[in-house]
């Protein structure tokens, strides 16, 4: 289906009339009418009821509205992902967890710009399921995550091992999990280790899925929680958080995921620079 037809259909809904839709799209009213007629012929159903007050959707039109929205959004996303930014030779898409962008992949961005100044970067943030799906579908070139899944055509490489330590805003913290303890969901491996270390823990007053959010919460309002050591250096030096000396430490490996056959120079340069920055951060 011509996406221009779907776009015109949505414009009529948004404006309420063929006349206003034509003005919005900078075309004539007859063009809008012809597009809607062609769309109705392709679908085999009337989409609008026309009257003096404007237009209203038929039941078939209401049903098609959600499909038209998805169609136009998908095409626009595809244009953004495969399009080459003016002044660049190509585009590289890299996805990662929020916690792995902070103090890791954020340092990688300028390093990659130095070795590949003619390659634009699209940075994605997501959880493992979304990142893996993006890699499988080819919407992402590289993924950095904690719990990847083995998939044909993708290589999984251990990048670094996070040291998750418990810190508190109290100068003399205790290892017990108090009411102000913030549980950060670092994934299933962390959950297993945490459960073994604190078998009586039944849940926290606040649970977050993003480490940055949990850290900002305790920095602004006080509390404790587990975070990667690399994220804490600045705040420990400033005296804003204090390591809980008797609390157990947890290890959480982070992985690099990318196509098995890397014959793309930008991807190879990105992988090498990510490995280098990760070694420096570790």
Residue pLDDT, tens place only, 162-191: 999 999 999 888 778 888 999 999 988 899
Pair of tokens at residue 155: 């290589």
Q: How confident is the model at residue 46 (pLDDT cuts 50, 70, 90)?
A: very high
Residues 209-219, mean pLDDT to the nearest whole number: 93
In this prediction, residues 125-131 reach a mean pLDDT of: 90
DSSP state of 88: -
SS3 category, 273 = helix
pLDDT confidence of 108, banded at 50, 70, 90? very high
pLDDT value, residue 85: 63
Beta strand pairing call for 242-243 and 181-184: unpaired
Class for the domain spanning 90-158+254-281: alpha beta
Q: Is the pLDDT of residue 78 over 80?
A: no
* Of residues 235, 203, 237, the one with CA closest to residue 219: 235
Residue 10, CB-side half-sphere exposure with 13 Å CA sphere? 14
* pLDDT-based confidence at residue 77 (cuts at 50, 70, 90): low
Going by pLDDT thresholds of 50, 70 and 90, the confidence category of residue 76 is low
Domain boundaries, the chain: 3-82, 90-158+254-281, 161-252
Q: How confident is the model at residue 52 (pLDDT cuts 50, 70, 90)?
A: confident
Q: What confidence tier does 79 reach under pLDDT thresholds 50, 70, 90?
A: low
Q: How far apart are CA 212 and CA 38, in angstroms?
A: 51
CA distance 232 to 238: 10
Residue 84 pLDDT exceeds 70: no
* pLDDT range class, residue 80, cuts 50, 70, 90: low
Overall fold of domain 161-252: D-Maltodextrin-Binding Protein; domain 2 (3.40.190)
Answer yes or no: is pLDDT of 239 > 90.
yes
For residue 240, what pLDDT is reported?
96
Fold match between domain 3-82 and domain 90-158+254-281: no
What is the pLDDT averaged over residues 9-25?
89
Can you tell me the mean pLDDT for 125-143?
88
User: CATH for 3-82, among 3.40.50.11140, 1.10.10.10, 3.40.190.10, 1.10.3470.10?
Assistant: 1.10.10.10
């Amino acid at each position: 289906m011509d996406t221009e037809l779907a776009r015109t259909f949505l414009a009529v809904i948004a404006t309420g009339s063929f006349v206003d839709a034509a003005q919005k799209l900078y075309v004539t009213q007859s063009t809008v009418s012809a597009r809607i007629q062609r769309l109705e012929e392709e679908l085999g159903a009337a989409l609008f009821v026309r009257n003096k007050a404007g237009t209203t959707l038929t039941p078939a039109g209401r049903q098609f509205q959600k499909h038209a929205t998805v169609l136009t959004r998908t095409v626009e996303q595809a244009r953004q992902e495969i399009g080459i930014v003016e002044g660049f030779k190509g585009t590289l898409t890299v996805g990662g967890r929020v916690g792995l962008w902070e103090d890791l992949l954020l340092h990688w961005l300028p390093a990659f710009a130095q070795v590949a100044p003619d390659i634009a970067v699209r940075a994605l943030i997501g959880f493992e399921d979304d990142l893996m799906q993006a890699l499988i579908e080819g919407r992402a070139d590289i993924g950095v995550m904690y719990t990847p899944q083995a998939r044909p055509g993708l290589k999984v490489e251990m990048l670094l091992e996070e040291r998750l330590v418990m810190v508190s805003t109290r100068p003399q913290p205790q290892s017990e999990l108090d009411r102000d303890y913030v549980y950060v969901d670092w994934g299933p491996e962390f959950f297993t280790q945490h459960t073994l270390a604190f078998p009586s823990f039944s849940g926290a007053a606040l649970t977050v899925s993003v480490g940055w959010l949990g850290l900002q919460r305790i920095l602004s309002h006080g509390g404790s929680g587990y975070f990667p050591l690399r994220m804490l250096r600045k705040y420990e030096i400033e005296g804003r958080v204090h390591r809980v000396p008797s609390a157990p430490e947890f290890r959480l490996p982070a992985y690099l995921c990318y196509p098995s056959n890397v014959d793309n120079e930008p991807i190879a340069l990105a992988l090498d620079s990510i490995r280098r920055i990760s070694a420096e951060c570790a």
